[in-house]
Structures are given as C-alpha cells and as structure tokens.
C-alpha cells in the first residue's frame, strides 16, 4: 500500500528564519536558502535515526562503514588498510584507530599480505560478517521506513533531483566513485 501523499502541515524553523530575512531583506530571493536549510535539517534528523541503529548493535558509524566496505568487497572480504581509508575518505591514522577497535572486538583481523609481506590485509572475521549482515539489514529497513512517507514515483524523483544537485556541486564525483570501487 502506497503512503498517502501530503504537503507540509505547519511552518517549520526554516519558514521562521526565511520570514525574518524576508522582513529584514525583502530584496533577497530566499528559495535556495529554504531548500538547502531543509535538506540540512533532514540530514541532521536522519543521521540521528541512522546512528541509533548502529548504536543498538554496539557500533558507531565509522566502525559500521569499515565492516560494510569489507563485506561489500566480496569474497574473501578483505582489503588493505590504504584502500579502506581511500574508500571511506579517511586518514591513515583514523583508519588505524577504527581497525584497532574492530580487531579488539573480534570483528576484523589483520594479517600480512601473502603477495607482499610488508603489506597488511584486513579481513572480516566470521563474527564481523555475521554482525555486518545483521546491521545492514536493520539499516536498510530503517532507511526504507524513513522514506515510506513518499510513494515510489516521489522517491525516484527525489533521487533524480539529488543526483543532479550532487553532480553540479561535486563535478567528477561519479568518476571518483568508480575509481574507489
């Protein structure tokens, strides 16, 4: 059953801010401020709900990101720390901290690379794979729930619009994403 469409019911903080600006600076076109303000608020609210899923499983977002990157890399679910850091746009030092925590928890293991003993490989343990599979299922269900207010056509249109905005603001993003995968 498709979710019932509805428009905004009440004014929100963005309406109050733009009304103040309209009063003080009626010469300004505030449409972009309102749209981007709402997108920012949306991400703040969504991040809280997303983080709650990870926290319920004893993880933070960064730790989940590492486990997810390893899991989606396919068999044997291992990468070198530099590739992981690049994939997650993280410094090498930041990656080391995450790996230390995940290794202590028994979710990943580090070992020498068979092809180059100077290099390290990071692999999911059985417990890590089981946990990430559970968490990603809950994560997707949570995100689906958050978007359930939109019908399928609205979700496709929102995805299209967000893609257009991202491509205009991050030229080369699709090329960079392909390089990482």
Per the structure block, which two tokens stand in for 179?
A: 């390089």
- Lowest-pLDDT choice from 51-65, 115-129, 132-146: 115-129
At residue 181, the pLDDT reads 38
**Can you tell me the mean pLDDT for 1-14?**
66
Distance (Å, rounded) from C-alpha 66 to C-alpha 64?
A: 5
Kindly report the pTM of this predicted structure.
Answer: 0.81
Contact in structure between 135 and 67 (CB atoms under 8 Å) = yes
pLDDT tens digit string along 24-80?
A: 999 999 999 999 999 999 999 999 999 999 999 999 999 999 999 999 999 999 998
Beta bridge partners of 122: 79, 110
Average pLDDT, the chain: 89
- Smallest CA-to-CA distance from 57 within 126, 168, 131 is with 131
Q: Which residues have CB under 8 Å from 145's CB, separation 6+?
A: none
Domains identified in the chain and CATH numbers:
25-149 (1.10.10.10)
- Lowest-pLDDT choice from 11-25, 111-125, 167-181: 167-181
């Amino acid at each position: 059953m498709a979710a019932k469409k509805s428009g905004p019911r009440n004014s929100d903080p963005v309406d109050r801010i733009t009304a103040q600006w309209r009063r003080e600076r009626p010469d300004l076109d505030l449409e972009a401020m309102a749209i981007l303000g709402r997108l920012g608020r949306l991400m703040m609210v969504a991040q809280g709900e997303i983080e709650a899923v990870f926290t319920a499983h004893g993880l933070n977002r960064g730790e989940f990101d590492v486990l997810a990157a390893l899991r989606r890399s396919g068999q044997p679910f291992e990468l070198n720390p530099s590739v992981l850091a690049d994939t997650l746009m993280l410094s090498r030092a930041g990656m080391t901290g995450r790996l230390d925590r995940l290794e202590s928890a028994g979710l990943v293991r580090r070992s020498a690379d068979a092809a180059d003993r100077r290099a390290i490989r990071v692999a999911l343990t059985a417990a890590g794979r089981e946990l990430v599979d559970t968490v990603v299922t809950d994560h997707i269900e949570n995100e689906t729930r958050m978007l359930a207010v939109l019908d399928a056509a609205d979700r496709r249109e929102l995805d299209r619009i967000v893609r257009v905005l991202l491509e205009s603001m991050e030229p080369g993003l699709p090329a960079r994403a392909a390089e990482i995968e």
